[in-house]
């Protein structure tokens, strides 16, 4: 099979994985509240049940990412993760007690940890220019699952029969349904998914020997501006010349590798964590800011999701059907938002998309803080204010998620993307744990709940604004792409033939200034 066909089928499979994760969320969330009430669980179990899924994903995301970075494979990781999804959802279907239901979400959450490996794969096989577009498409697949999921709930709520010792009803049937779906997806991954080699500048796969040369010779990120392309060519050439002086003459080009030689290379892959430093990688301003934005975004999102079901039941009398229809409409809006971001990411910088998302979410949180904490007026007016708050929150969500993932992949090392994405998803997992716990106990005190959410949004928004201003001011003279910066850099480079100083300074400018 040709590389292009393998690549297309792999992307389709990745889209299906995220689609199924969205469907799982959509069929579980509208029914878990009543399911827990039937099992005589206290109210705080709703927050525990939603947080348990994220907790196990938080723990296993970096582990799966580390595994994929060491082996450069993700297929076996996904196959193993799907097994946990199958078992966890079947435990949810059994539903003997509230503790078994809580355990089922923990087991299923282990399978969700494979997402870090998938994002690491996407980073390795996509170019910088198209990465935000690919991420937006993949995330839109999950939102499509959120859109399709409520449609399945309409039919699952009609289930009422006995299957051996198990009762199949509208509360247990989502678990059985998702077990079957993940089982079918296991077959799809087995036959339609390939571990693709990293991407070169030409857009084709390379063998591992070429990848090592490419990663050493090229900077981590490149500038899209035409003015910088000539300077990059000069720097790359001079870097290779300095390497030749320092290490002797360059070796002759190697002959085409045989299958046995390729297998040997695969078995002797260098450890990407050999020179890895977590402090240098993650304790940088731009990385910490993106992790903070990730935490605040998911904390607020999951807190509002936890609040929505009890709120609609209390003020509007919504049941399972009405909640499913509400999530269906929310899915339509979010998919439209991801399609909008997919188009805007081609003409707007990622940091500008991030700023737009923070602005919209801040307006949404302020709206909810003003109008939902003290509902007044009749039923139509209260419902209209509620719909507007949810609409604004969902409108800003695609801007935040896509820009965060894209920026994070550009300011962290390409060699350890699986682990780095695992750390990012773990921070998000921590937020999805604390968000439901925070909102679950404050459904009767919306002022406190929404007040903290607003404070977090303001803090991150101000930080992003400060960093963007610093980037713009610094890039006027300190980056080689500017005229003054290029002349100063070339003068320094002619006087100082120190490769390590070039590497540290230039890559730091590229990461800290250009990408953010």
Lowest pLDDT segment from 22-36, 178-192, 256-270, 410-424 = 256-270
What domains lie within the chain, and their CATH numbers? 3-198+278-469 (1.20.1250.20)
DSSP 8-state assignment for residue 477: T
| pLDDT tens digits along 460-478 | 888 888 876 666 555 444 4
pLDDT in tens, 3-36: 888 888 999 999 999 999 888 888 887 788 788 8
Taking a C-beta distance cutoff of 8 angstroms, is the pair 96, 398 a contact?
Answer: no
| Per-residue model confidence as pLDDT tens digits over 484-513 | 444 444 444 454 444 344 445 445 544 444
> How far apart, in whole angstroms, are the C-alpha atoms of residue 104 and residue 389?
32
The confidence score (pLDDT) of residue 478 equals 46
Long-range contacts of the stretch 386-392 (C-beta < 8 A, 24+): 386/311, 386/312, 386/315, 386/316, 389/364, 390/304, 390/308, 390/330, 391/333, 392/360, 392/361, 392/363, 392/364, 392/367
The answer to whether residues 32 and 175 touch, using CB atoms and an 8 Å cutoff, is no
**pLDDT at 275 (0 to 100):** 52
On the question of pLDDT at 90 being above 90, the answer is: yes
Residue 113: φ, ψ to 5°: -65, -15
Reading phi first (left if > 0) and then psi (alpha if -120 to 50, else beta), residue 225 is in beta
Kindly tell me if the per-residue pLDDT of 450 is higher than 80.
Answer: yes
Residues ≥6 apart with Cβ < 8 Å to 298: 428, 431, 432, 435
pLDDT at 459 over 70: yes
The pLDDT of residue 216 is above 60: no
> Cα 47 to chain center, whole Å?
22
pLDDT band, residue 279 (cuts 50/70/90): low
354's tokens: 């991030």
Token reading at 286: 């731009």
HSE (CB half, 13 Å, CA atoms) of 85? Answer: 30
The token duo for 111 is 């399978």
Predicted pLDDT of residue 252:
44
Looking at every residue in the chain, the average pLDDT score rounds to 74
> What are the b/e assignments for 32-69, b being 16+ CB within 10 Å?
bbbbbeebebeeebbbbbbbbbbbbbbebbbbbbbbbb
16, 185 contact by CB (below 8 A):
yes
Task: Give the pLDDT confidence score for residue 191 in this predicted structure.
Answer: 92
Whether the predicted pLDDT of 262 surpasses 50: no
3-state secondary structure 147-178: HHHHHHHHHHCCCCEEECCEEECCCCHHHHHH
pLDDT-above-70 percentage for the chain: 74
User: Where is pLDDT greater, at 142 or 225?
Assistant: 142
- 482 compared with 420, residue with greater pLDDT: 420
What is the per-residue pLDDT for 82?
93
Highest-scoring range by mean pLDDT, 88-102, 133-147, 270-284, 336-350? 88-102
pLDDT of residue 80: 93
Q: What separation in angstroms does the CA of 333 have from each of 45, 390, 395?
A: 29, 10, 7
Q: 406 or 10: which carries more pLDDT confidence?
A: 10
Window from 113-117, 337-341, 411-415 with minimum mean pLDDT: 411-415
The answer to whether residue 161 scores a pLDDT higher than 50 is: yes
Q: Radius of gyration over alpha carbons of the chain, in Å?
A: 25
Whether the pLDDT of residue 319 is over 60: the answer is yes
pLDDT of residue 501: 43
pLDDT at 230 over 80: no
Is the pLDDT higher at 278 or at 46? 46
Calpha distance 189→387 (Å, rounded): 39
Which pLDDT does position 195 carry in this prediction?
A: 86
Label residue 415 by pLDDT band (50, 70, 90): confident
User: Does pLDDT of 237 surpass 50?
Assistant: no
Average pLDDT over residues 153-176: 86
Torsion angle, alpha carbons of 83, 328, 345, 417, to 10:
-20
User: Is the model's pLDDT at 294 over the cut of 50?
Assistant: yes
- Residues 51 and 215: their CA atoms lie apart, in Å, by 39
Residue with the larger pLDDT of the pair 144 and 320: 144
Q: Which residues pair with 199 in a beta bridge?
A: 205
pLDDT, position 117: 86
| Overall pTM surpassing 0.75 (yes/no) | no
CB contact set of 362 (below 8 Å; sequence gap of 6+): 454, 457, 458, 461
Identify whether the C-beta of residue 372 lies closer than 8 Å to the C-beta of residue 385.
yes
Helix, strand and coil content of the chain, in percent to the nearest 5, comes to: 80, 0, 20
Percent share of the chain, pLDDT over 90: 10
Summarize the confidence of residues 198-208 as an average pLDDT: 49
Handedness of CA 176, 181, 183, 184 (dihedral sign): positive
- Count Cβ atoms below 10 Å from residue 325 Cβ, excluding itself: 16
| Separation CA 414–CA 465 (nearest Å) | 27
Distance of CA 404 to the CA centre of its chain: 8
Greater model confidence, 201 or 406:
406
Find the Cα–Cα–Cα–Cα dihedral 130, 131, 133, 138, rounded to 10°: 140
């Amino acid at each position: 099979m040709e590389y292009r066909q393998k690549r297309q089928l792999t992307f389709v499979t990745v889209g299906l994985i995220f689609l199924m994760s969205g469907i799982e969320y959509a069929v579980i969330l509208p029914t878990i509240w009543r399911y827990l009430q039937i099992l005589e669980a206290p109210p705080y179990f709703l927050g525990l049940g939603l947080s348990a899924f994220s907790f196990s994903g938080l723990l296993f995301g970096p582990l799966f990412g580390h595994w994929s970075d060491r082996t450069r494979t993700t297929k076996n990781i996904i196959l193993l993760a799907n097994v946990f999804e199958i078992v966890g959802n079947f435990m949810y279907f059994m539903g003997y007690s509230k503790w078994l239901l809580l355990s089922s979400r923990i087991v299923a959450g282990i399978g969700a940890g494979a997402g870090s490996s998938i994002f690491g794969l996407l980073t390795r096989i996509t170019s910088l220019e198209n990465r935000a577009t690919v991420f937006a498409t993949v995330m839109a697949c999950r939102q499509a699952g959120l859109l399709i999921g409520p449609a399945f709930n309409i039919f699952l709520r009609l289930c009422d029969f006995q299957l051996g010792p198990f009762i199949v009803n509208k509360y247990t049937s989502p678990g059985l349904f998702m077990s079957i779906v993940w089982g079918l997806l296991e077959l799809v991954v087995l036959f339609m998914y390939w571990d693709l080699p990293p991407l070169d500048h030409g857009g084709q796969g390379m063998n591992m020997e070429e990848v090592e040369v490419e990663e050493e010779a090229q900077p981590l990120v490149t500038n899209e501006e035409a003015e910088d392309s000539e300077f990059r060519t000069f720097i790359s050439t001079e870097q290779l010349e300095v390497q030749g002086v320092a290490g002797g003459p360059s070796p002759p080009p190697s002959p085409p590798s045989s299958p046995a030689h390729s297998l040997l290379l695969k078995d002797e892959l260098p450890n990407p964590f050999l020179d890895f430093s977590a402090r240098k990688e993650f304790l940088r301003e731009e990385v910490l800011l993106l992790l903070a934005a990730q935490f605040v975004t998911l904390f607020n999102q999951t807190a509002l999701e936890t609040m929505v079901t009890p709120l609609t039941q209390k003020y509007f009398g919504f049941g399972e059907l009405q909640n499913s229809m509400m999530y269906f409409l929310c899915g339509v809006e979010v998919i439209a938002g991801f399609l909008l971001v997919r188009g805007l990411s081609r003409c707007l910088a990622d940091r500008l998309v991030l700023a737009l998302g923070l602005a919209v979410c801040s307006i949404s949180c302020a709206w909810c803080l003003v109008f939902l904490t003290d509902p007044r007026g009749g039923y139509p007016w209260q419902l209209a204010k509620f719909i507007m708050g949810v609409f604004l929150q969902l409108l800003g969500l695609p801007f935040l998620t896509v820009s965060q993932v894209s920026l994070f992949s550009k300011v962290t090392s390409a060699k350890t993307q699986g682990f780095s994405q695992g750390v990012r998803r773990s921070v998000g997992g921590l937020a999805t744990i604390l968000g439901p716990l925070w909102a679950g106990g404050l459904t009767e005190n919306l002022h406190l709940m929404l007040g903290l959410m607003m404070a977090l949004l303001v803090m991150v928004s101000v930080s992003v604004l400060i960093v963007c201003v610093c980037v713009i001011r610094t890039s006027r003279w300190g980056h080689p792409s500017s005229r003054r910066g290029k002349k100063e850099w070339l003068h320094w480079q002619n006087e100082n033939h120190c490769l390590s100083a070039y590497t540290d300074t230039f890559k730091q400018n590229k990461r800290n200034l250009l990408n953010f």
